[in-house]
Amino acid sequence: MDARRPIIECRDICKTYLNGDVATPVLKNVTFTIDAGEFVAIMGPSGSGKSTLMHILGALDSPTSGTYRLDGRDVSTLTDDELADVRREKIGFVFQSFNLLPRATVLRNAILPLIYAETDPERRETLAEHALNAAGMPRDRWDHLSNQLSGGQMQRVAIARALINSPSIVLADEPTGNLDTKTGEVVLGTFQELNEREHHTIVLITHERYVAEHADRIIHIQDGVIVEDSRNSRRRIVNHTAA
Amino acid sequence: MTINDLFNETYASLTANKARSGLTMLGIVIGIGSVIAMISVGQGAQGSIEARINSLGSNLLLVEPGAARGAGTFVSSGRGSATTLTLEDSDAIAQNVAQVSEVAPEASRRFQVTATGTNTNTEVVGTVPSYQDVRNVQVDEGSFITDAQVQSGSRVAVLGPTARDDLFGEGAESVGDTIRINNTEFTVIGVTVAKGGTGFGSQDDMIYVPLTTAQRYLTGGDSVTTISVQAANQQAMTQVQQDVTALLLDRHRIGDPTQADFSVLNQEDIVATATSVTGTFTLLLGAIAGISLLVGGIGIMNMMLTTVTERTREIGLRKAIGAKKDDITMQFLAESVALTVIGGVIGIALGWLGASLISSVGGITTSVSGSSVILAFGVSAAIGVAFGYYPARRASALNPIEALRYE
């Protein structure tokens, strides 16, 4: 695979929220590039603008100014429905609170994005099998209802759901925030594995340095500007076999 | 989103909270059920009134003395006492108007009638044999009045079944017995077949005597109270009505039709009047039931709004994984339409059941028409769309970022 193909290109991204007449700048001229196959952590304290950045990267929101190219396509000026198409085809989300459908099976949760992609029902099974295996979800749990699972298992289902479309990037927003340290470690190991074995591009948003240190590059954001963007020299590697 | 997926998602959402879905549906079930049952009562009444009017005879025109009070009103100001119509008018209609199959003049009035030890007050109709065809009278026992009896002015009487029951007891043999009308003795020569219907204007509570006899002993003079004219066919009725009017205006030397001293009623007008009355009645009943349907619809809207709020995060997630606005709108609209359509089908079944209960227990004629079923089904689907649209739009308009953060 192309080692240096840029998948995310952000140039002078600004986001300003208008509250009445008061303009609050949240992102100020943010510029960076993420290549395909990278595992990047975007780290910053709360209020730093990392959530806003994640929303823009996830095509949930548009920047006030600047350009954002995702996989070569400028997505900073698209309409709501066009953004929905981009999300469906290019982005897989993993949220802090899992956001699974309760009272629905693991399998149904995993294939949920496919109903909007109108994938053939026969193909859904194959894709779900691959995604659930990649996320490390044991097969005997696939028929369980999502609200009967443990937190770690729920997040695995959410990861499988994010992977099912073979997205260009997987965006994980505080994926370990609702998990205990040990389970969180296992989930981070899963991301490392996906990055190494399946070459998924992973963007991890977190406020914890410990979590960010599982990535191989850390973008540190504070008060809406990038204060540091460097290779992670002290990378924490989770023992995959232990997971 | 394919139809199949939409169906599966809807099924999953509605079964996720069965009690709530069921109760919401109940509102529609009751609404549609009561609409079906109420309209069936109205339509049943309409049907039985039409049947009774049609039992008078077919293609019938009634010429009566005195001006009608208004279009279609069949009580005229001078009926019974006015003496503007005569037997000669009747004969003239029979001879001069084309496409008339039968003409039957009658002179009728209510009299106290006595038999051995009993008496009753009933309508005595002096008429001619053609009356039997024109007014669709069938004889059960004995025979009807003959031309010879009219010629000779015989004192014979044919009883309606109700009059017979009142005078001789229910189902009693009466042919050959004697009754007294206005202190004149009449011999009973026949009893007619029951036409059904009770109360005002019953066709069964009548006594038929020869027209000449009635004029001589009972009503006096040579006037008639009604001339029944049967047109050759339904298409000819309007023409016959015009011709009869023109002929009688000419015979009575009246130039201005508004000053006519008689009126010609078309049977279809009578049916139309009765239908418009029962139609209003049906509409009223339907409207009352429609209110409960409206309340049911508001119940749907209430539930859908609650659902949208409860499932805010789910909506946010669906948007994040690529659902478009229309996908979300369709999903919530499908849920409300599914509730109202299923509720509507159950409601139609229950309404049908209710209508047959009203018939069997209440003794009221009901009729569930195909059109009211189709209408009810259409209305319930329309309610689903109308009351589901606002909540669905609200769901689809949610900002995914805020929806995902919603606690």
- List CB contacts (< 8 A) between B313 and chain A: 97, 99
Cβ of residue B172 closer than 8 Å to a chain A Cβ:
no
Q: What are phi and psi of A123, to 5 degrees?
A: -70, -25
Alpha-carbon distance of A192 to B240, in angstroms, equals: 99
* B321 vs A103, A112, A118: nearest CB: A112
CB contact at 8 A, B53 and B270 = yes
Q: Which residues pair with B60 in a beta bridge?
A: B230
CB contact at 8 A, B347 and B376 = yes
Q: Taking 50 as the threshold, does the pLDDT of residue A243 lie above it?
A: no
Nearest residue on chain B to A57, judged by CA atoms? B320
Query: Inter-chain contact B321–A116, Cβ cutoff 8 Å?
Result: yes
Residue range B294-353, pLDDT digits in tens: 999 999 999 999 999 999 999 999 999 999 999 999 999 999 999 999 999 999 999 999
Residue B138 pLDDT: 87
- List CB contacts (< 8 A) between A103 and chain B: 12, 16
CB contact at 8 A, A90 and A119 = no
Residue A44 pLDDT: 93
Alpha-carbon distance of B57 to A123, in angstroms, equals: 72
Name the minimum distance, in Å, from the CA of A101 to any CA of chain B.
7
The dihedral sign for the CA sequence A151, A153, A155, A157: negative
- Tell me, what amino acid is at B173? E
* B322 vs A88, A95, A97: nearest CB: A88
Structure tokens at A157: 């289902």
* A118 vs B2, B319, B400: nearest CB: B2
Alpha-carbon distance of A93 to B321, in angstroms, equals: 7
CB contact at 8 A, A204 and A215 = yes
Residue B321 pLDDT: 93
Average pLDDT estimate for B361-389: 88
Residue B64 pLDDT: 85
Interface residues of chain A, partner chain B, Cβ below 8 Å: 55, 58, 60-61, 80-81, 84-85, 87-89, 93, 95, 97, 99, 101-104, 108, 112-113, 115-118, 121, 161, 165
* A113 vs B2, B321, B324: nearest CB: B321
Q: Taking 90 as the threshold, does the pLDDT of residue B30 lie above it?
A: yes
Query: Inter-chain contact A84–B319, Cβ cutoff 8 Å?
Result: yes
* B321 vs A81, A93, A121: nearest CB: A93
- Tell me, what amino acid is at A3? A
Query: Inter-chain contact A118–B314, Cβ cutoff 8 Å?
Result: no
What lies within 8 Å, CB to CB, of B121 at 6+ separation is B110, B111, B112, B113
Residue B306 pLDDT: 93
pTM: 0.74
For an interface test with B, give the residue of A116, A119, A161, A165 to mutate (most B CBs within 10 A).
A116
Closest to B337 in 3D by CA, of B16, B24, B23, B19: B24
Closest to A27 in 3D by CA, of A61, A64, A57: A64
What lies within 8 Å, CB to CB, of B383 at 6+ separation is B28, B293, B296, B297, B300, B340
Nearest residue on chain A to B319, judged by CA atoms? A84
Alpha-carbon distance of B253 to B389, in angstroms, equals: 69
Alpha-carbon distance of B58 to B279, in angstroms, equals: 22
The DSSP letter of residue B117 is: S
Average pLDDT estimate for A174-199: 91
Query: Inter-chain contact A60–B322, Cβ cutoff 8 Å?
Result: no
Residue B225, helix vs strand vs coil: coil
- List CB contacts (< 8 A) between A108 and chain B: 12
Alpha-carbon distance of B211 to B193, in angstroms, equals: 21
Alpha-carbon distance of B181 to B107, in angstroms, equals: 14
Closest to B323 in 3D by CA, of B251, B396, B264: B396
**Beta strand A22-35 pairing with B156-159:** unpaired
The dihedral sign for the CA sequence A58, A60, A66, A67: positive
CB contact at 8 A, B251 and B89 = yes
Residue A208 pLDDT: 92
Name the minimum distance, in Å, from the CA of A239 to any CA of chain B.
31
Residue A218, helix vs strand vs coil: strand
Cβ of residue B3 closer than 8 Å to a chain A Cβ:
no
Average pLDDT estimate for B121-128: 91
Name the minimum distance, in Å, from the CA of B323 to any CA of chain A.
6
- List CB contacts (< 8 A) between B401 and chain A: 55, 60-61
Instruction: Please tell me the least confidently modeled range out of A11-15, A82-86, B280-284.
Output: B280-284
Confidence of residue B196 (pLDDT cuts 50, 70, 90): low
Query: Inter-chain contact A99–B404, Cβ cutoff 8 Å?
Result: yes
Query: Inter-chain contact B324–A112, Cβ cutoff 8 Å?
Result: no
Residue B80 pLDDT: 42
Nearest residue on chain A to B2, judged by CA atoms? A118
What lies within 8 Å, CB to CB, of B59 at 6+ separation is B101, B230, B231, B232, B233, B234, B236, B237, B267
Residue range A132-168, pLDDT digits in tens: 998 889 999 999 999 899 999 999 999 999 999 999 8
Query: Inter-chain contact A81–B319, Cβ cutoff 8 Å?
Result: no
Q: What are phi and psi of B286, to 5 degrees?
A: -60, -40
* B325 vs A80, A118, A121: nearest CB: A80
Residue A74 pLDDT: 92
Residue B78 pLDDT: 45
Structure tokens at B91: 């004969």
Cβ of residue B2 closer than 8 Å to a chain A Cβ:
yes
Alpha-carbon distance of B123 to B152, in angstroms, equals: 22
Residue B79 pLDDT: 45
Alpha-carbon distance of A205 to A99, in angstroms, equals: 17
Alpha-carbon distance of A55 to A126, in angstroms, equals: 30
Average predicted confidence (pLDDT) for chain A: 90
Alpha-carbon distance of A80 to A61, in angstroms, equals: 9
CB contact at 8 A, A62 and A82 = no
Q: Taking 50 as the threshold, does the pLDDT of residue B77 lie above it?
A: no
- List CB contacts (< 8 A) between A104 and chain B: 12
DSSP string, B277-313: HHHHHHHHHHHHHHHHHHHHHHHHHHHHHHHHHHTHH
- List CB contacts (< 8 A) between A90 and chain B: none
Q: What percent of chain A has pLDDT over 70?
A: 97
DSSP string, A40-75: EEEE--TTSSHHHHHHHHTTSS--SEEEEEETTEE-
Name the minimum distance, in Å, from the CA of A103 to any CA of chain B.
7
Residue A25 pLDDT: 92
Interface of B with A in 230-289 (CB under 8 A): none
Query: Inter-chain contact B322–A112, Cβ cutoff 8 Å?
Result: no
Nearest residue on chain A to B312, judged by CA atoms? A99
* Consecutive H or E run containing B85: none
- Alpha-helical (H) ranges within B111-232 are 131-134, 147-152, 161-168, 211-213
Alpha-carbon distance of B355 to A14, in angstroms, equals: 69
- List CB contacts (< 8 A) between A80 and chain B: 324-325
Name the minimum distance, in Å, from the CA of B327 to any CA of chain A.
8
Query: Inter-chain contact A84–B322, Cβ cutoff 8 Å?
Result: yes
Q: Which residues pair with B121 in a beta bridge?
A: B112
Query: Inter-chain contact A58–B320, Cβ cutoff 8 Å?
Result: yes
* A84 vs B2, B16, B324: nearest CB: B324
Cβ of residue B320 closer than 8 Å to a chain A Cβ:
yes
What lies within 8 Å, CB to CB, of B270 at 6+ separation is B53, B72, B74
- List CB contacts (< 8 A) between B326 and chain A: 81
Structure tokens at B222: 């040579």
Average pLDDT estimate for B250-263: 82
- List CB contacts (< 8 A) between B12 and chain A: 103-104, 108
Residue B83 pLDDT: 65
Query: Inter-chain contact A87–B321, Cβ cutoff 8 Å?
Result: yes
